[in-house]
Structure 1
Amino acid sequence: MLEVEREVSLAAPSRRPPRRPAAVAAAGRAPWMRRLESTLWACDLVVILLAVTASVAVRWNVSGEALSRSASPERDTAYLALAVVLAMTWMTTLSLHMSRDRRIAGSGPEEYKRVVTATVRLFGVFAILAFLGRADFARPFVAVAFPVGAVGLVLERWVARKWLHWHRRRGGWAHRVLVVGSRDNVAHLTAELAREAYAGFEVVGVCVPGGAYDEVDDGLHVVGSLTTIPEAVVATGVDTVAVTPSVGLTPAALRRLGWALEGTGVDLVVAPALTDVAGPRVHVRPVAGLPLLHVEPPQYEGPMRVAKGVFDRVVALALVLVLSPLIVGIALAVRLTSAGPVLFRQVRVGRDGRSFTLYKFRSMVADAEHMVSRLAQLNEHDGVLFKIRADPRVTPVGRVIRRYSLDELPQLLNVLRGEMSLVGPRPPLPSEVANYAFDARRRLLVKPGMTGLWQVSGRSDLSWEDTVRLDLYYVENWSMTADMLILWKTLAAVVRGSGAY
């Protein structure tokens, strides 16, 4: 308690104006930031020029002969001049919308949103001006350049995002972060940032109450206390300061920290105690001058739940019809290569704890469940799951269909019956549910899925804690858009065949 009081008292304002350390004021962008922004600028320019050229090609054929016989040289010159102006304005609009800002580059949805918003607004104004000016010759820009450019820019940013993540997974192109706050909160945020390396935040030091420079505490490199944050910024050369909740960091102290970092190029971010909540559920509402976070409750009922159920059944029926030859082929292969039934039936636990029979193609020997006790010492998984990478119970055909998740195709029947969803938490066994902690039981608030975040994030390679964390995140934050994205990523995970055994 005395330590907390000491931190608060030291953080109190002095009578002298705060002086920004010279080294902090001289901080600039890292070379990778400049390279990323220049690369995005060049790629945007290429896509825009291709889109504008496509609209010109519509007006003139490849040989240069005017498609419109009535077109005059003056109109053609005006068209080319307008194309140049449009390309320059398009690039400027993307800059004004900060679509290349290093804070959102590689973030995905927010970056795509800014690119699309800038493009839509530009062409909205362009179309209005062309209509008012009776510039009929400008129609190809709206009809061709707009859709080609919008799609091209999003695809280009997607490729750039993968390129950026590639660098970050190899330890480069990351923001250097100083995390400050209480020891528990600092440790939690540091672990989360380390787990998601592609996000690009490398923690190089922490400041905690009573911390001393160059101290190592629970694997954290402590470089200062809550009263020496500006000095720690200088010593570590960070470009981002992440603040977590702490008693010693009062609103006044946090405000003064923001003043100290003004104009230094060092970003100040505040990490609330709230975690694992998706952006669409969080809204900032200013109340009495305070930016309060309002968290919307999860959607477990209502129109969106009905829409999800209809979508599940329609897509499942379509997949059964399209994949019926493959399903018949797998059934014959299972039947002809090993003794036992074609389908494996097992009781699983669904929404609200209701049991149902799950169907899969049999990929193991007929008495596989009776062999679990004898193979318990070979279990490679932690927690309540039982997984063996080289499971001796798996048949040759089973090894192939498990690798590509083809053994799960009969679960489309469970989806049609309303027992499962296409996307959702992993369907648990009754024995697993019996060992659930309180948090894990929230997985039962929604229908289990054929695929989910666990499927696209490592499949059988995930630990029990990571599986529960991903399932709970889905339960709390599911949406139709997220389901579409997970289904797309599932296709890639299945084709690679990684993490399945």
Structure 2
Amino acid sequence: MARWQELLVAWALLILTLPFRLLTAGLLLAHLGRPLMFRQARVGQGGRAILVPKFRTMSEARGADGQLLPDAQRQTPVSGIVRRLRLDELPQLDRIIAGDMALVGPRPLLESTLRGFGALGVIRNSVRPGLTGWAQVSGNTRLNDDEKLALDLWYVAHRSPGLDLRILCDTLGVALRGEHRHEERLRRAQAWLRDQQTAVPPEMEMAGAMS
């Protein structure tokens, strides 16, 4: 997707989703209080550090040992719905307009997670991180890190305006119907990645992806 097209869509979404952002902010303020948002340090395109904003959907409730309770116990029914519908991600539209993120691309990861992928992680981050991505509409939380990596790398190699549009449409479907694993997409991505690793050394593959 061309940058001007992305900006046009991002601005349109920013305007169209403003009522949902205000509603989400009001509901979370009533159920969880302040702060409404938090920012996570993540790795952007080319290894550049970025801050990714999200609505806060968990309390700071701790157990008798002083440790944070499990995620499920720190959510309210309302914040759980906010997460399921991905309304907590809406503040990231601002980062798309700023140029730190894209509408579609691999989700921004922690530096420690990305480092564990080695050269493949560099290839993965040769494009801007996205608000949503191929892995997110192919299973997301039902996938492990290696499965997500294969899907992300397949996207980087095959990205196109048509694929981006498909992912955006699928994202709406996931928000409405919930997540499920797309086994065929995963098998295709894993088979493609095996072929690439067999045929091309990681250093050459990385150079090709970043060109």
TM-score (norm 1): 0.34
Once residues 341 and 451 of structure 1 are traced to their aligned partners in structure 2, the CA distance between those partners, rounded to angstroms, is: 25
Q: Secondary structure at the match of 1:456?
A: coil
Q: What is the aligned-residue identity percentage?
A: 38
Residues 277-356 of structure 1 aligned to structure 2 (within 5 Å): 308-356=2-50
Once residues 156 and 23 of structure 2 are traced to their aligned partners in structure 1, the CA distance between those partners, rounded to angstroms, is: 35
The one-letter code matched in structure 2 to 1:404 is L
**Alpha-carbon distance, 1:484 to partner:** 0.8
Once residues 367 and 351 of structure 1 are traced to their aligned partners in structure 2, the CA distance between those partners, rounded to angstroms, is: 34
Q: Alpha-carbon deviations, 1:369-413, whole Å to 9, x = none?
A: xx9x867xxxxxxxxxxxx7x622323322111111111111111
Once residues 327 and 419 of structure 1 are traced to their aligned partners in structure 2, the CA distance between those partners, rounded to angstroms, is: 20
The aligned residue for residue 402 of structure 1 is 83
Q: Alpha-carbon deviations, 1:433-486, whole Å to 9, x = none?
A: 232222232111000101111111011111111100000001111111111111
Q: Any conservation in 2 of the 1:403–1:498 contact (CA below 8 Å)?
A: no
Q: Alpha-carbon deviations, 1:309-332, whole Å to 9, x = none?
A: 222211111011111111101011
Once residues 23 and 158 of structure 2 are traced to their aligned partners in structure 1, the CA distance between those partners, rounded to angstroms, is: 38
The aligned residue for residue 125 of structure 2 is 444
Q: Secondary structure at the match of 1:428?
A: coil
Once residues 141 and 23 of structure 2 are traced to their aligned partners in structure 1, the CA distance between those partners, rounded to angstroms, is: 26
Residues 132-281 of structure 1 aligned to structure 2 (within 5 Å): none
The aligned residue for residue 92 of structure 2 is 411
Matched, 1:427 2:108: yes
The one-letter code matched in structure 2 to 1:363 is T
Once residues 316 and 349 of structure 1 are traced to their aligned partners in structure 2, the CA distance between those partners, rounded to angstroms, is: 21
Q: Secondary structure at the match of 1:453?
A: coil
1:467 to 138, 142, 148: 148
Q: Any conservation in 1 of the 2:36–2:56 contact (CA below 8 Å)?
A: yes
The aligned residue for residue 177 of structure 2 is 496
The aligned residue for residue 279 of structure 1 is none
Gaps of 5+ in 1: 1-306, 376-387
Matched, 1:454 2:135: yes
The one-letter code matched in structure 2 to 1:462 is L
The one-letter code matched in structure 1 to 2:155 is Y
The one-letter code matched in structure 2 to 1:359 is P
Once residues 142 and 158 of structure 2 are traced to their aligned partners in structure 1, the CA distance between those partners, rounded to angstroms, is: 23
**Alpha-carbon distance, 1:367 to partner:** 7.2
TM-score (norm 2): 0.77
Which structure: greater helix fraction?
Answer: 2
Residues 76-87 of structure 1 aligned to structure 2 (within 5 Å): none
Gaps of 5+ in 2: 181-211
Q: Any conservation in 2 of the 1:339–1:366 contact (CA below 8 Å)?
A: no
- Corresponding pairs, count: 177
Cα-Cα RMSD: 2.1
Q: Any conservation in 2 of the 1:341–1:366 contact (CA below 8 Å)?
A: no
- Residues 1:332 and 1:324: Cα distance change in structure 2 (over 3 Å): same
Q: Alpha-carbon deviations, 1:164-185, whole Å to 9, x = none?
A: xxxxxxxxxxxxxxxxxxxxxx
Matched, 1:358 2:39: no
Greater RCO (Cα-Cα under 8 Å, separation 6 or more): 2
